Structure 1
Amino acid sequence: MVKIVGIGGSLRPGSYTQLGLKIAAQRIEALGAEVEILDLREMQLPFCNGGKEYPEYPDVQRLRDTVSNADGLILATPEYHGSVSGVIKNALDLMSFDQLSGKVTGVISILGGQVNSNALNDLRIIMRWVHGWVIPEQIAIGQAYSAFSPEGKLLDDKLSQRFDQFAQSLVDNTRKLRGVN
């Protein structure tokens, strides 16, 4: 079975980034894959100082172990000042090739303003650097405040279809590239 780990780079309560990640996870689970979301809001992670060991922060090892045991990733980030959030960048920096190399990855960005692809491109660069495989399908939600209903449902059918395509691509490509069913 395909195992996917989702990581959201927003610490804000009521985060649209976490909501987008949850929707992606639901779509992927509907295709028969197992999804675990690591909620960075619930983890105690230090700022990365370039060290290999962080014994006083057991959640660093939990992050590394969980990602190591996954076949693929969903990385979701709010776009802050034209790039990824410091939260997701720090989580990725706390890992290395040991955890990230070969991971099939889908990327999502959430913006308060107009859609662009800066954060998505930056996530692609980061994952390429650590020898990950980023799928071609990606999701950028601009003006996120108007994209979701109060119940957390997507309001746009075309955006909903893009989540379906994203999920299918992540599962299919993970199966192909990782050799799992």
Structure 2
Amino acid sequence: MVKIVGLSGSLRKNSYSQQALAQAAERVEALGAQMEILDVRSLDLPFCNGEGDYADYPDVKRLQNAFTQADGIILATPEYHGSVSGVLKNALDLMSFEHLDGKVAGVISVLGGQANSNALNDLRVILRWVHAWVIPEQIAIGQAWQAFDADGKLLDDKLSKRLDRFAESLVEHTQKIRGLEKVAA
């Protein structure tokens, strides 16, 4: 079975990044894959100091184990100052090749203004550096404050269909690259 882990790089209550990740997770699960979302807001993660030993922070091990055991990953980030949030970058910096190498990844960005690819491109560079495989489909949700309804569902049908294709691509490419059997949806 395909196992996907998701992580959002937002600490904000009612985060649009979390809502986008939840929408992606729902679609991945509908395709028969197993989905786990780690909520960075509830993890006690230190700032990465490059030493690699974070024994006083059991959530670092939890984060690393979840990514090690996953076949694929979804990263969702708010775009801050034209790039990835510091929270997400720090969580990724707490991991290494052993946790990310060979994983199939899907990336999502959420912006207050017009959609662009800055944070998505930066995530692609980071993930390529640790030898992850990023799917071609990516999601940028501009003007996020008007993209979701009160229940966190996407209001735009075109964007919703793109997210469907994103989930399909992530599951299909994960099966191919990781050599897994197809899931029965």
Smaller-chain TM-score bracket: over 0.9
One-letter code of the match for 1:180? Answer: L
Q: CA–CA distance in 1 between the matches of 2:152 and 2:114?
A: 20
- The corresponding residue for 1:92 is 92
Identity %: 70
- The corresponding residue for 1:29 is 29
- The corresponding residue for 2:104 is 104
State how 1:87-166 maps to structure 2 within 5 Å: 87-166=87-166
Deviation at 1:151, TM superposition (A): 1.6
Deviation at 1:52, TM superposition (A): 1.4
- The corresponding residue for 1:77 is 77
Q: Deviations over 1:83-120 (max 9, x none)?
A: 00000000000000000000000000000011110000
Q: Deviations over 1:137-178 (max 9, x none)?
A: 000000001101112111110000001000000000000000
Q: Deviations over 1:113-132 (max 9, x none)?
A: 11110000000000000000
Q: CA–CA distance in 2 between the matches of 1:98 and 1:56?
A: 21
Pairs aligned (count): 181
- SS, match of residue 14 in structure 2: coil
- SS, match of residue 25 in structure 1: helix
One-letter code of the match for 1:109? Answer: S
- SS, match of residue 5 in structure 2: strand
Q: RMSD of the TM alignment (CA)?
A: 0.4
Q: CA–CA distance in 2 between the matches of 1:60 and 1:90?
A: 11
One-letter code of the match for 1:99? Answer: H
- The corresponding residue for 1:167 is 167
Q: CA–CA distance in 1 between the matches of 2:5 and 2:99?
A: 12
Q: Deviations over 1:48-89 (max 9, x none)?
A: 000111000000001001100000000000000000000000
Q: Deviations over 1:5-55 (max 9, x none)?
A: 000000000000000000000000000000000000000000000011100
Q: CA–CA distance in 2 between the matches of 1:14 and 1:30?
A: 24
- The corresponding residue for 1:57 is 57
Q: CA–CA distance in 1 between the matches of 2:62 and 2:155?
A: 35
Q: CA–CA distance in 2 between the matches of 1:99 and 1:76?
A: 18
State how 1:39-50 maps to structure 2 within 5 Å: 39-50=39-50
- The corresponding residue for 1:66 is 66
What TM-score, normalized to structure 2?
0.97
Consecutive unaligned residues of structure 2, counting only runs of 5 or more, are none
What TM-score, normalized to structure 1?
0.99
Structure 2 residue 9 is the aligned partner of structure 1 residue 9: yes
